[in-house]
Amino acid sequence: MPEDRRWPRLAARVLPGPLHRRLKSSVLGQHYRPPVGQVRFGDLRRTAPLSRQFGFDRGLPVDRHYIHEWLAKRGSDIRGRVLEVGDDSYTRQFGQGVTEAEVLHLYGGNPRATYVTDLSSGEGLPDAHFDCLVLTQTLHLVYDVPAALRTAYRVLRPGGVLLATFPGISQRSDDEWAAYWCWAFTSLSATRLFHECFPPAGVTVESHGNVLAAVCLLEGIAAEEVSAEELAIKDPCYEVLITVRAVKPPDPGPQP
């Protein structure tokens, strides 16, 4: 019997069943799947998550890992006069050539807020005023999303950019924003919503995540507890975070 056919039979006799199946899967280039009844849940065999703060109390939440990576690549869009929701932390962290950083907040009392208004109404926000609008983890808290997108389009200057992120697969928060959490999106619903307001050619929708990333976010396991290589794998069936870059068309200028 050839040597390369002898060792698998020897392994089958010597090794325990689960170990032999794992080795066989590895040799065949397959992902090992434990048989029914032999899945090892370990620390995850519980009905409560490891963290109810999305993993903030353990490190950087997985969805924030994706947000930071995405905004780092969009730094050239965060320029000129920028409006960010909540505070201006991402504007300061990732912006390039920012001349003015302004803040939109729903309620008064935020000393950094330049505008206090509801994004769906847009009351008090000036027309064609901003070069960039940063809406991270915001639109799922707005019931009338189409109205909020119309406001975003209106306040952007021609050629301005809207950078938006929102949850796909996620736990729901239990903080003061829980009463506003209306939606979970998919890349398809995001695409259709943004195409209703922005020219389709100027809209780029991406999804980020895989089954491991989804489990980590739901359990509150921080991004530092898994590898960057594992988080980088994209599986469109497991959309943990949706990101959208939408561009308002530039002013065509005077026509001849």
DSSP letter for 172, please.
Answer: P
Q: What is the pLDDT of residue 8?
A: 53
Residue intervals of the chain classified under CATH 3.40.50.150 are 45-247
Q: Compute CA distances 70 → 110, 116, 184, 241, 242, whole Å.
A: 27, 27, 19, 11, 10
Task: Please give the angle made by the CA atoms of 146, 114 and 108, to the nearest 5 degrees.
Answer: 85
pLDDT digits over 14-47, tens only? 555 555 455 454 444 567 788 898 889 999 999 9
Q: What is the pLDDT of residue 28?
A: 47
Take residue 184 and report the two structure tokens written for it.
């979970």
Q: What is the pLDDT of residue 30?
A: 64
Under-50 pLDDT residues of the chain = 1, 7, 20, 23, 25-28
Q: Which residues contact 156 (CB under 8 A, 6 or more apart)?
A: 128, 130, 131, 132, 133, 162, 248
Q: What is the pLDDT of residue 20?
A: 47
What predicted TM-score, i.e. pTM, was given to this entire model?
0.86
Spatial separation of the C-alpha atoms in residues 162 and 139, rounded to whole Å:
12
Query: Which fold is adopted by the domain 45-247?
Result: Rossmann fold (3.40.50)
